Amino acid sequence: MKLSEMRQILAEGGIQLTKSLGQNFLQDANQLRRIAAAAGLSSGDRVLEVGPGLGPLTELLVERTGEVLAIEKDARLVEVLTRRLAKKRNLTLLHADALDYLKNERRDWSEWKLVANLPYSVGSPILVELAQARRPPRLMTVTLQLEVVQRIVARVGSEDYGILTLLVQLNFQPERFFKIPSGSFFPPPDVDSACVTLRRRVKLLLDHGLQLAFTNIVKRSFSQRRKMMMKLLREDWPADRVSAAFQAAQIPETARAETVSLEQYVTLTRQLSKP
């Protein structure tokens, strides 16, 4: 889809884009093809797309895969997509708030891929919701703000390492990412963007039943970055249990949250979750 076509569709429909919905549409055909290539699409794939917008990525997905479920919140864009892609029999178009849908629709995503230019306003919550689903997708290739992608792929001890890093990497391993210039979007966003691919771990590090405890431990640990993590966790658990858990995970008592590895948080969760 060319930029001129995007402008024409919006003008004919009298559609003013809404900044609060993160409506910056990727219109660069080369970047769209790079996203499709990063997702390793095949004719047997089932793909979830969140925020299809005017459908440039959707067109690629329905051409290259077996089934596409696209969720769009803006009713005006749903009408446009329905007109443009009505003949695509392998496309299901859903008018819904994607985050609400994912929270309430507890479906099995284990054989699906997420391929999407996520709305920047809700990109991180959507990614975390799917990353922590009981049966998460096998692959996620998504476009987000560059700074968010840097947090997702961060390593322990780095400035970007934090809550988002751990909540995503618990079940997914980052593979690669590439930057996308703002000029590739319409209208151009004020921030840099990047596309990252995340692959579900062959063996999950924690049973799903312990993931809520993991999330609570991580959020508490990062609630005050300058404080020692042990002191923060003692607000929720008895001091002797926290000390024993730190010893089992080989975490120094003076450690701060950003110096503790994913594997250590996993061990900490197991220890603190024991009866």
Reading the block at residue 121, the tokens are: 């306003």
Report how far residue 262's alpha carbon sits from residue 169's, in angstroms, rounded to the nearest whole number: 8
Backbone angles phi, psi at 196, to 5 degrees: -125, 145
pLDDT digits (tens, 9 = 90+) for 100-137: 999 998 899 999 999 999 998 899 999 999 999 999 99
pLDDT digits (tens, 9 = 90+) for 184-236: 998 898 899 999 999 999 999 999 999 999 999 999 999 998 999 999 999 99
Q: Domain residues of the chain, as ranges? A: 3-200, 208-272
Class of the CATH-defined domain 208-272: mainly alpha
Superfamily assignment of 3-200 in CATH?
Vaccinia Virus protein VP39 (3.40.50.150)
The pTM assigned to this predicted structure is 0.94
Report how far residue 123's alpha carbon sits from residue 109's, in angstroms, rounded to the nearest whole number: 18
Contacting residues for 75 by C-beta, under 8 A, at least 6 apart: 95
User: What's the CA dihedral at 208, 213, 214, 215 to 10 degrees?
Assistant: 100
CB 260 within 8 A of CB 156: yes
